[in-house]
């Protein structure tokens, strides 16, 4: 990610957490995320045209949406998310949505892998990642798959990992 060039670590965890929170707010599902030179491209299904009423209730239609998040957008999302998490205890933050939590743990995994480029998509709650990894023999793509249960377990382990980081 260009916004992290020269820093000690690429923070996919926070970047993807912020993007995931945005997607949760939009009600998107079945997402695909692609890293671009100046940010990320996200594509997913968004439900539009829903209404409620006694007899006129409609489910709406799922439309494919493509969103581009530039580095400046992501930096702003991260600042807003940090401010929300720093809110006073009297106004507790709402719990993380599905994508915020899932993208955060996927981002943490990617931070550990240190890829040069990322691409992933979701299929029925499972995620397939394609990471461009660098090495002495050159660049190569590596695939990783996380089932819906894998993601749930990683999210559940998250708080214990954060507490162990604070102690170090």
Across the chain, the runs of DSSP E, i.e. the strands, are 28-36, 39-48, 61-70, 117-123, 126-133, 140-146
CA distance 70 to 56: 40
Cα dihedral sign for 150, 151, 152, 155? positive
Please report, for the chain, the start and end positions of each structural domain, with discontinuous segments joined by +.
Answer: 2-167
DSSP-assigned letter for residue 93 = P
Burial 65-83 (b: 16+ CB within 10 A, else e): eebebebebbeebbeebee
Digitized pLDDT (tens) for each residue of the chain, 168 residues in all = 544 455 544 689 999 999 999 999 889 999 999 999 889 999 999 987 655 555 555 567 889 999 999 988 888 888 887 777 665 544 445 678 999 999 999 999 999 999 999 999 999 999 999 999 988 889 999 999 999 999 999 999 977 765 455 444
- pLDDT score, position 82: 73
- pLDDT score, position 168: 45
Q: Which two tokens stand for residue 1?
A: 């990610």
């Amino acid at each position: 990610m260009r916004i992290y060039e020269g820093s000690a670590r690429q923070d996919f965890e926070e970047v993807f957490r912020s993007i995931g929170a945005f997607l949760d707010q939009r009600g998107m599902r079945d997402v695909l995320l692609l890293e671009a030179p100046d940010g990320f491209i996200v594509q997913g299904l968004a439900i539009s045209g829903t209404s409620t009423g006694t007899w006129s209730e409609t489910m709406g239609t799922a439309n494919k949406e493509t969103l581009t998040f530039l580095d400046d957008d992501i930096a702003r999302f991260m600042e807003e998310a940090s401010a929300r998490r720093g809110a006073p205890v009297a106004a507790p933050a709402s719990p993380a949505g599905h994508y915020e939590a899932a993208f955060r743990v996927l981002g943490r995994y990617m931070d550990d892998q240190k890829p040069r480029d990322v691409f992933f998509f979701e299929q029925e709650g499972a995620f397939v990642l394609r990471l461009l990894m660098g090495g002495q023999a050159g660049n190569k793509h590596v695939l990783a798959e996380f089932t819906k249960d894998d993601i749930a377990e990683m999210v559940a382990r998250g708080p214990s990992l954060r507490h162990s980081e604070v102690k170090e």
